[in-house]
């Protein structure tokens, strides 16, 4: 079953939107495989955003992600990587559609509330970066047959 790395960023936690964000993923039918609240080290933040290392916003991004606690999660379900990106909306909240998390709750690109892996291979890299294998809980919801045909 497909998995995605999803993180509620410091602004999402501070604004009390963690429950709302988790609720949206949960109600879609996806399941939580791992979840931890944590303070992010500079080293981890830089590895996570390595692809953006040469961008002008890289330093601000790392500063921000390490500035206050985040909630790091792994979610599971059919097509969860692409579906989570849709639920989250465009990177710039002002361009994100209403009904998406960023579209409903954000304004600034540097305060867009949530991260989600952008591809299945990225998800595998990010999950391995943020979690030990022993932290991932394999389980099947009793609602399986009511969510999947
Ligand atoms: P994504 O989070 O939608 O995948 P990416 O392009 O991977 O977007 O960028 C990672 C994060 O870097 C974004 O979520 C956003 O917080 C920040 N970011 C991206 N582009 C800009 C920018 O132009 N200015 C400031 N921050 C940016
Ligand atoms: Mg990205």
- Nearest by Cα to 28 from 84, 106, 71: 84
To test ligand 1's pocket by mutation, which of 21, 61, 88, 90 has the most ligand atoms within 8 angstroms of CB?
61
Inside any domain, residue 39: yes
Q: Are 93 and 103 in contact (CB under 8 A)?
A: yes
Q: What is the pLDDT of residue 95?
A: 98
Which residues are designated catalytic? 115
| Domain that includes residue 48, residue range | 2-140
Indicate the pairing of strand 114-116 with strand 3-8.
antiparallel
Q: How confident is the model at residue 146 (pLDDT cuts 50, 70, 90)?
A: very high
| Model confidence, pTM | 0.98
Ligand 1 atom nearest the C-alpha of 112 is 16
**CA atoms 97, 37, 134, 137: torsion sign:** negative
Provide the domain count of the chain.
1
Inside any domain, residue 145: no
Q: Which residues surround ligand 2, an ion (CB under 5 A)?
A: 118
Inside any domain, residue 109: yes
- Nearest by Cα to 106 from 2, 11, 10: 11
- Residue 72's domain is classified under what CATH number? 3.30.70.141
Q: What is the pLDDT of residue 7?
A: 99
Chain segment 45-100, per-residue pLDDT in tens: 999 999 999 999 999 999 999 999 999 999 999 999 999 999 999 999 999 999 99
């Amino acid at each position: 079953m497909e998995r995605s790395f999803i993180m509620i960023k410091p602004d999402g936690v501070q604004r009390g939107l963690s429950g709302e964000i988790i609720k949206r993923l949960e109600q879609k039918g996806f399941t939580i495989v791992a979840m931890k609240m944590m303070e992010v080290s500079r080293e981890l933040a830089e590895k996570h955003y390595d692809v953006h290392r040469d961008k002008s916003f890289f330093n601000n991004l790392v500063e921000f992600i390490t500035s206050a606690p985040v909630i790091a999660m792994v979610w599971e379900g059919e097509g969860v990587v692409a579906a989570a990106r849709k639920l989250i909306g465009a990177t710039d909240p002002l361009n994100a559609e209403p009904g998406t998390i960023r579209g409903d709750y954000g304004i600034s690109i540097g305060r867009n509330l949530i991260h989600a892996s952008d591809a299945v291979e990225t998800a595998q890299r990010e999950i391995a970066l943020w979690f030990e294998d022993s932290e991932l809980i394999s389980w099947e919801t009793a609602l399986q047959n009511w969510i999947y045909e």
